[in-house]
Amino acid sequence: MASSDPARLAFWCLGAFLAGSIPFGLLLVKVAGKGDVRRHGSGNIGATNVSRVGGKALGVLTLLLDILKGGLSVWLARRAGLDYNFVALVGFLAVAGHVFTPWLKFQGGKGVATALGAAFALDPVWILPSLGLFAVLLALFRFVSLGSVAGAALMPLVLVFRKPPGPVWPGLLLWAATFFLVIAKHHENIRRLLKGEESPLWGRKEARG
C-alpha cells in the first residue's frame, strides 16, 4: 500500500486511535460484576488497578489485551507496507487512544502496555533493556509506576541505536513522544513516589528491627 494515499492513511490513523481507545480494563471488571474500576484503588483502568479490584486473572487479561491494541496496530501497519515514519504515527495514535479514550470523556489509562505492544511489534529487541530495567526496579522496590517510568524513559535512548537507515527522524520523534506521553500520564505517581506515598504492588515490606 502506498504511504502517499491520504484516504488510506487517514483510515490507519483512525483505526489505530479507535483500537487503542477500547477500555478493556473497565469492561472486564464490569462484566465480572465488580463495578466500575475507576471508583476503586488508583482509579486507573490499567492492569495494575484491575488486578487490585478484580483479581490477578483479570489484571493479566487486561495487560494482554492492552498490549495487543498497540501491537496489532503496528504489526498490521508494517504488514501493509507503511514506512517507518508512518508506522511510528500509528503506534503513537494507538497509545493516544488508550490515554485519551473518547468513550470515557478522554480520561483513559497510562498507556504502558499499549506502548509496549507497539514497540514489540516494531522491534522485539528494542524493548528488552526497558523490560529488564522494569523487572529489576519492581523486584527491588515493588512500585509498578517506578519501573514503568524508568522503562519508558529508556526506550527512546535504545531506539537511537536500533533505528533503520534513511530519513527516519520524524518517526524517531513520534516514538519519543509516545513514551513521553506515558511518562507524563504518571505525573501523579511520580509525585507520590517523591513523597513516599505510592502504594507498592505486593504491600509494604515490614520494617526490620
In tens digits, what is the pLDDT along the chain, a chain of 209 residues?
A: 445 678 888 999 999 999 999 999 999 999 999 999 999 988 899 998 999 899 999 999 999 999 999 999 999 999 999 999 999 999 999 999 999 999 999 999 999 999 999 999 999 998 999 999 999 999 999 999 999 999 999 999 998 888 888 899 999 999 999 999 999 999 999 999 999 999 887 655 443 33
Per the domain annotation, does 207 fall within a domain? Answer: no
Per the domain annotation, does 30 fall within a domain? Answer: no
Per the domain annotation, does 103 fall within a domain? Answer: yes
Per the domain annotation, does 94 fall within a domain? Answer: yes
Per the domain annotation, does 11 fall within a domain? Answer: yes
What one-character-per-residue DSSP string does 43-63 give? ---SHHHHHHHH-HHHHHHHH
Per the domain annotation, does 74 fall within a domain? Answer: yes
End-to-end Cα spacing for the chain? 66
pTM: 0.92
Total number of domains constituting the chain: 1
- The candidate with the shortest Cα–Cα distance to 162, out of 132, 119, 133, is 119
> Domain range for residue 147?
6-21+67-195
Per the domain annotation, does 29 fall within a domain? Answer: no
Angle in degrees, CA 151, 191, 175, rounded to 5? 30
